[in-house]
Chain A
């Protein structure tokens, strides 16, 4: 109930009470009168009653006019003075109180305005000094940002929970769709401050790499970085190197991820593989050539009678060899169509040099943590190193051993790690049922939840081939066991390249945007109880063909910006025109300026909304007059299958919460009150940006009204009369 209504209820109550008291007094006096006196009074009322009633009505009217004057001159102005003072103290120091009312209140407003002038001068003085200091810091920050931004490598920094706190342009180019140039419908996740690295990359792979760096640190290794490959934005393999960031206590509290297109390391590996494939092809052909040559030289009688003639066979082989080597560009390994030791489509994983014992221990831990047989390690001679992609090999071996656990009905496996001439063997033996070779062969063909650098799904067989590894089932009983699987891994020289040695220490970290997120507490499941300043917001707006979503009006443009850590993220914009597949009324074109020809080549809503849903993931939706925009989105739920069940805040309702004495809560009215310029109105992107800036101005005003959490803001919004508007 607003203060105006409160006053009139109070006045009515007071009048009724007065009438009741006067009535009771009259009844009491009436009863004290003698019958003669009562007769005289009745006689007077009969003759003078009209006058008395007139006086009573005049009295009531005077009370009404007096009350109205009090409301307009004192009650409402005092409320406006209160709101204006709060505005000046929080959102808009340039605001001044301008009221029509009683002289006393005008004097009070003038006094407050005078105080505000002095406060503003002081505020501006302090602001200037802060701005000067900020500009100096900003200059340093911009130099650093420019350097990082232009680096040929992509960089993402995340905290220990995987929340992205910094990224550069190159990382965006390598991994994320462009968010502002019409490519927003790419199926990939968006890069953004506050978003999770686990949504952007293969979560299991990233977690494994993080665990690997942690394990390297525990072993006090100099090189702690972990490297793996992922598929980039255009299907190109991207090399990802993860390095931990340490805090003062030397504990890992974040990670630096460096991204680069396929590195020379990978190129060298591919060249080496191609060279070996060529070697195999040449040996096959040479075998024919040599045998033919020997037959021609040493067994002329055979050659003379052979059918087909040996010379013809030799000629065919030479022809085949010619096709194999040329005439085109044969330098591309991917052109090799002949079967080889590398499984087609397996791609290439980065092979790292690791100690066999470390790999066996990692396998043991993985089986324990992910469910699998218990591994009893026996390291007979584990000297030397092996060269494998530990993650893919762990996945493949875990898969095989879990199958083995079931097929052989055993809970425990002995694992003997032993170095032989040019390789390391890992023998997995067990007591229990034996397994058949065709079972093992069937397991090889199973696909894993892993993609190669080319994005193709891979089988266990692909992984073994890509790691130059082999698994075989030993034919005989082995050391009294029922069966034994032997894994062959190639020996390698220890790494001699300069590995990234360590971690960035806390005192060397640059002062940079959102690095305070390192210190954020762990996520709370329910957003309702979180402070409004700690939430991530997607502020959005739609442009439509009209104002009646239930009568066929469609979205033709949708735009959104993100607010994270109480800041509007300028670089994170979703802005997409939408083909409505219907005509656009001229009246609406006059408002938003979007003509039908601009939408012909644009995606339809069923493509745009899924992308928008990914952009808005894990955030609170904010809009001005959100009921309308949400109704537009809700009308598309059945068509797109996308349900926006995010928490929602409406700047129009929040304005009514903090400025109940004001009747206007349009974007322009709010902007005028909080001193925020309005630009780019009636474009979805412009309105979303203005709404976001106004929302940030409303947050401190909500706090002044003791509204701190999302739940409090939602409850307060529901109580204002504007909340009852439906579309």
Chain B
């Protein structure tokens, strides 16, 4: 099991139950978790807090995860933050679209907790 360090993760997820479970799970590994359910809220929180990673689902209440990712990539201040998609959309086209929009990695739901943790660690390690 990788040894996580203290980082702030912003989770954009519409399903409050999944957001709760992710918070319980990731806080146990010393991550600081900020949760929201819309793209607009995610952008506001990104501006207000120093976040090390964004975890977003593919479809948010107000925009697609892809749009949020593009907005992050086009913002000078956030463009280097890793963006991890946890996506219920599983078609190859949709996943390719996420990667093309600037996603750092994609996990298709349902995913194993260890897979999520490994991916988060890998992406945080890759930050220069």
CB within 8 Å of B: which residues of A?
276, 279-281, 283-284, 286-292, 294-295, 298-299, 302, 306, 308, 310, 313, 316-317, 320, 339-341, 420-423, 436-438, 441, 468, 470, 472-475, 486, 488, 490
Contact = CB atoms under 8 A, between A and B. Distances in A.
A652 B74 CA distance: 78
B73 interface: yes
16 contacts: A287-B109, A288-B17, A340-B59, A341-B89, A421-B92, A421-B96, A422-B91, A422-B96, A437-B70, A470-B66, A470-B94, A473-B70, A475-B79, A475-B102, A488-B93, A490-B91
Given A287-B110, A291-B113, 14 more contacts: A280-B59, A280-B89, A284-B88, A287-B86, A295-B24, A299-B28, A302-B25, A317-B17, A422-B93, A472-B101, A474-B100, A475-B70, A488-B93, A488-B100
B90 A283 contact: yes
Interface in B6-26: 14-15, 17-18, 20-22, 24-25
A88 to B, nearest CB: 79
Contacts of A320: 17
A284 B110 CA distance: 7
A308 B109 CA distance: 22
Contacts, number: 114
B108 interface: yes
B61 interface: yes
A313 B97 contact: no
B44 interface: no
Contacts of A280: 59, 88-90
Nearest to B75: A437
Contacts of A291: 18, 21-22, 25, 110, 113
B93 A295 contact: no
Interface string B59-90: 10101001100110110000100000010111
A310 B100 contact: no
Interface of A is mostly: helix
B61 to A, nearest CB: 7
Given A288-B15, A294-B112, A472-B100, A341 B59 contact: yes
Interface string B91-119: 11110110011100000111111000000
Contacts of B91: 276, 422, 490
B93 A294 contact: no
Nearest to B59: A339
Contacts of B57: 284
A460 to B, nearest CB: 14
A487 to B, nearest CB: 10
A276 B93 CA distance: 14
A295 B27 CA distance: 13
A291 to B, nearest CB: 5
B21 A310 contact: yes
Contacts of A420: 96
Contacts of B102: 475
Given A284-B18, A308-B20, A313-B20, A472 B112 contact: no
**Nearest 3 pairs of A and B residues by beta carbon:** A287-B109, A283-B88, A286-B110
A549 to B, nearest CB: 60
A479 to B, nearest CB: 15
Nearest to A465: B64
Contacts of A316: 17
Given A292-B21, A313-B21, A302 B89 contact: no
Contacts of A295: 21, 24-25, 113
A283 B108 contact: yes
A423 B109 contact: no
A468 B93 contact: yes
B3 to A, nearest CB: 16
B96 A488 contact: yes
Contacts of A289: 110
Contact of B28 (A302, A341, A441): A302
Contacts of A475: 70, 73-74, 79, 102
A214 to B, nearest CB: 32
Contact of B93 (A290, A299, A423): A423
Given A283-B108, A291-B113, A475-B73, A423 B20 contact: no
